[in-house]
Structure 1
Amino acid sequence: MKKALLTAAMALTFAGLLAGCGSEDAGKDKSEDKVVIGYFPNINHVPAMVAKEKGLFEKELGDGTKVEYKTFAEGGSFMTALKTGEIDAGLVGPGPAMNNYSTGADVQIIAGASTGGTVVLARKGSGIESVEDFAGKTFITPGVGCTHDVQYETFLEEAGITSERIGGTMKHLTGNPAQYSAMLKAGKIDIAVAPEPWAAVIEKETDAQVVIGWDEVSFGETLPASVMVASGEMTKENPEKIQKIIDAHKESIEFINENPEEAKEITIKDIKATTKQDLDKEVVDLAWERIGFTYEVDQDAIQAFSDSSYALKFLKDKPDFTALIDKNFIN
């Protein structure tokens, strides 16, 4: 499946999920022509890292535009930054984008970025060998209702298990994936629902066992793991700028698929600069096998994911995301 995605020139360059409020002018100085791109320090967001390293946004936007970058640990803060105008566009998980759109936020998915990359691991010594052992255990995800959380809780529901949030027995914690290894070692959590490369890091550092693979977890092979988003206002009022951002994004994805080893080097360097964590090449190699990169968006998968979010009570109303996705810039 992964090879098919890669050969289809699918790529990643978007990631996140968030919430927030504020004025359009709160986040940045409108007197200068500046574009701020947001992304997360994980492998689902490699398209942003490569575009940053190669100066692709700068090249497409031209010398008159200053490009800045801002990183986020989870989707809520990313979405807040988008809504307040602190960032103009960026990569985030589809979960935060959909959750915010459903509550009236001005957000549009304008391209895909990556697929896959969600792995569920059990702490060594936890007694967990399969899903049958999950009841009563403690699991962690980056955020409540985030992409990884919905994927995992959908899988749980299909197995007849639920979290305490909706009347079940599993305790749910949230936190920064870079800290999951330490939490597992300390026995604070039993199960980590981790995006790459943190799943591969956990395997190496803690001997945790993969109990649900990236291609087994719900929506693992079809759902965009990260997407490129922008405000609807910007797509309408400045479509030329959005098109240049997407052109750079597409170029980045094509580079990743054609030059995976160099893209891995860029990823290792960028994640170290952001998190101070030096990833081993073998960790990145393992994580890379669980990811596909594409700028296409599977609208049917987005709707199916959102229907599950509603069923799990992350969304108050059953949504229709037909208008959430704007494919005009990738066609």
Structure 2
Amino acid sequence: MRTLIRAVAVAAVTGAALTGLAACGGSPQKASGAGDPVTLRLGYFPNLTHATPIVGIKKNFYADKLGRNVAIEAKTFNAGPEAVEALFSGAVDATYIGPNPTVNAWQKSKGQAVRVVAGAASGGAAFVVKPDITGPEQLKGKKIASPQLGNTQDVALRYWLKQHGLNTTKEGGGDITILPQANADTVTAFGTGAIDGAWVPEPFASRLVKAGGKVLVDERDLWPGGKFVVTNLLVSTKFLKAHPDVVKNLIAGQVEANDFINANPVEAQQVVNAAIGELSGKVPDAKQTADAWKTLTFLNDPIASSLRDGARHAEEVGLLQPVDLTGIYDLTLLNEVLKARGAPEVKV
């Protein structure tokens, strides 16, 4: 039997309260012996920034590496905080996710419940606004959207605004009203004039441009060398300890998926566009995707320095208490996979 892969689009996940390790990981996973069947519940978002898991699933890179005794149940989310809820409630065992929700999950579980085991993508996020807005001084009093309170783009937006003397609150007050909402809803709201702009990942930034917006900030311009983690692979510590072989094979499938994406960008874009269309009901425009693809880099390095800087940014805008990130990375399995392929190891 071929490995079973079920793609399940989840509009919202309601999980148990994020109250310590007791709420993390859901029902206990039985440690597998040789040949025992295992189900890996994997989360990701229907975004270009999550092309790695989309290609990994659709082109069977994960299935081939995981083998016939591991079934993948794939679940999709709009933004990081709801993916964290799913991870803590046991609805997923691992998820592709942005850096700021990763840090929040680490902090809430006191460093016990999760580990970053690989990077996946850099770039692919922008602040798109109405054409008459040419700088931060024109944003006061405007309505700006982000994917979800505390997600990676939400923190980037609030930090950038603060750097330019504009204050915001978690409740939506301050100099600018920030409206967290689903990315697809943001495109509709921008088209009707209900919002003045949004800081969003691709393909939604390109959709806003097509709807008449312009890029005010390409987030790559804010980071050294234009590189910053936008997607990494976060795994439940409980699942990692119970099934290290499964996690290693998942990572091996990811490495092959990223190799394919980088070697075959046109076909990869076609695969991702079709998958996003299935999940969201709207197939991205091929030209928009091609343009947005240029802002993305697919790699296995989690770019740890940018995660740490992002955590500091979240602290400065009042969305995170100071946190010690020592131990958040466990790249042992990734480096074993890379070493076997003759590739350089990743350090944090």
TM-score calculated relative to the size of structure 2: 0.83
Q: Which moved more, 1:111-120 or 1:209-218?
A: 209-218
Q: Cα deviation per residue 1:181-221 (whole Å; 9 max; x = unaligned)?
A: 210122211121111011111111x2111111232346793
Taking structure 1 as reference, are residues 234 and 188 closer, same or farther at Cα in structure 2, changes over 3 Å only?
same
| Amino acid across the alignment from 1:282 | K
Given that 2:101 and 2:151 are in contact with CA atoms closer than 8 Å, whether structure 1 keeps it comes out as: yes
Instruction: Please tell me the residue identity of whatever aligns with 2:193.
Output: G
Distance 1:79 1:160, change over 3 A: same
Q: Which region of structure 1 is more displaced relative to structure 2, 157-166 or 133-142?
A: 157-166
- Counterpart of 1:322 (choices 300, 314, 326) is 326
Alignment match, 1:240: 245
Does the aligned pair in 2 maintain the 1:250–1:295 contact within 8 Å? yes
Matched, 1:118 2:118: no
CA contact (8 A) 1:223 1:305 kept: no
- Which stretch has the larger CA shift, 55-64 or 255-264? 55-64
State the Cα RMSD in Å.
2.3
Amino acid of the residue matched to residue 116 of structure 1? G
Distance 1:181 1:38 in 2: 23
Q: Show structure 1 runs of 5+ residues with no match.
A: 1-17
Are 1:19 and 1:79, in contact at CA under 8 Å, matched by a contact in 2? Answer: no
Q: CA deviation at 1:40?
A: 0.2
Partner of 1:37, secondary structure, is: strand
Per the alignment, residue 149 of structure 1 pairs with 154
Q: CA 1:175–1:217 in structure 2 vs 1: closer, same or farther (change >3 Å)?
A: farther
Alignment of 1:196-235 (within 5 A): 196-204=202-210, 206-217=211-222, 221-235=226-240
Aligned-pair CA distance for 1:165: 3.7
Normalising to structure 1: TM-score of the pair?
0.87
Match of 1:313 among 305, 310, 318: 318
Picking from 168, 173, 176, the partner of 2:174 is 168
Q: Which residue of the partner structure matches residue 86 of structure 2?
A: 81
Q: Where does the alignment leave 5 or more consecutive residues of structure 2 unmatched?
A: 1-13, 18-22, 336-348
Q: Which runs of 4 or more aligned residues in structure 1 lie more than 3 Å from their structure 2 counterparts after TM superposition?
A: 18-32, 164-168, 217-220
Q: 1:245 to 1:178 in 2, by over 3 A?
A: same
| Aligned pair partner of 1:270 in 269, 275, 290 | 275
How many residues align structurally? 310
* Residue 261 (1) aligns with residue 266 (2): yes
What whole-Å deviation, never above 9, does each CA across 1:239-276 have from its counterpart, x for those lacking one?
11111111111111111011111100101110000001
C-alpha displacement of 1:222: 3.0
